[in-house]
Homo-oligomer: A and B are copies of this chain.
């Protein structure tokens, strides 16, 4: 898959560091093992020291080059991991065998956390054989019902992320069920306002259009059929699709994961560093791809 180019070694690799919160989990360690084998970055493993060593031994993994930071429990593990990021010792944070809310709590802590200026949102990268490019879907689940300002923040976070991955001026489609402005569908009004913000230069480094159906956002043949007109060149070519709500984003992401032959990767945006938030349901390949993407977008 094209997305695997983020797993190819570059000259920057080995200079970056990923801190793993609650690394003492067999699936997580297996993923880290692959990261180390490929030499993608250095790793700091936070968690129960004895468990980390015994899992490493069990799966035949060499962690002699990793820094190990002991933590007695999940809360301590989250706190220590976030602190390492705050101190500038890591470029990427990875969620290990820990509840999402425990890690989020530490990230969002007003004094000791690593919040950025705006919102935290997740992005799902989709590499589908039926598309000629990787498409980035925001938000598939963190921001349930984004307000207008939150949609602006989500666009800014995602554009900034995608630019670091090599798309200079990403094309952003604000997705709704239809292409027309329908007063009974508030999402179409907000999409129109976001498109106009793009035209007025209020959304930087990207081209925005909306409302667009998913088909007219992504597929040129759908645009040809429906003859959608627009002064900007986004229809059928979007790099980023902004979702009206988490139900829509989550449903599309799950349809893509389970019903297509696409590769996917997920990263949490908006904190001081990209955060890898894989779940047990992700395949080993997709977990690794999420690490690759987060590293590629880190500073």
Q: Judge if A13 is at the interface, Cβ distance under 8 Å.
A: no
Q: Which of B144, B177, B256, B259 meets A141, CB within 8 Å?
A: B177
Are A247 and B144 interface neighbours, CB within 8 A? Answer: no
Q: What B residues does A184 contact at CB under 8 A?
A: 144
* A260 & B257 in contact (Cβ 8 Å cutoff): no
Which of B244, B258, B260 touches A218 (beta carbons < 8 Å)?
A: B258
Question: Chain A interface residue count: which class?
Answer: 35 or more
A190 to chain B, nearest CB (A): 12
* A259 to B214 CA separation, bound complex (whole angstroms): 11
**Number of copies of this kind of chain in the complex:** 2
List CB contacts (< 8 Å) of A95-154 with chain B.
128, 130-131, 141, 144-145
Q: Which residues does chain B contribute within 8 Å of A15, judged by CB atoms?
A: none
Within 8 A of B (CB), among A271-298: 280-281
Cβ of A200 within 8 Å of any chain B Cβ, yes or no, is no
Whether a CB of chain B sits under 8 angstroms from the CB of A170 is no
Q: Which of A242-256 contact B (CB under 8 A)?
A: 243-252, 254-256
Residues of B within 8 A of A176 (CB): 247
Assembled-state Cα–Cα distance A188/B194 (Å): 28
Which residues of chain B are within 8 angstroms of A248 by Cβ–Cβ distance? Answer: 245, 247-248, 251
Residues of B within 8 A of A225 (CB): 280-281
- The answer to whether B177 and A258 touch across the interface, beta carbons within 8 angstroms, is no
In Å, the complex CA distance between A222 and B281 comes to 7
Q: Note all chain B residues with C-beta closer than 8 A to A246.
A: 177, 185
Chain B residues whose C-beta falls within 8 Å of the C-beta of A243 in the assembled complex: 247, 251
A195-233 vs B, CB cutoff 8 Å, 1 = contact: the mask equals 000000000000000000111001100100110000000
Residues of A within 8 A of B (CB): 128, 130-131, 141, 144-145, 175-178, 182, 184-185, 187, 213-215, 218-219, 222, 225-226, 243-252, 254-260, 262, 280-281
Provide a sorted-by-A list of 20 A–B residue pairs whose CB atoms are within 8 angstroms: A144-B185, A176-B247, A177-B249, A178-B250, A187-B247, A214-B255, A218-B258, A222-B281, A226-B281, A243-B247, A244-B247, A245-B245, A245-B247, A245-B248, A247-B248, A248-B248, A251-B252, A255-B255, A255-B260, A259-B260
5 nearest interchain CB pairs?
A177-B250, A214-B254, A248-B248, A247-B248, A225-B281
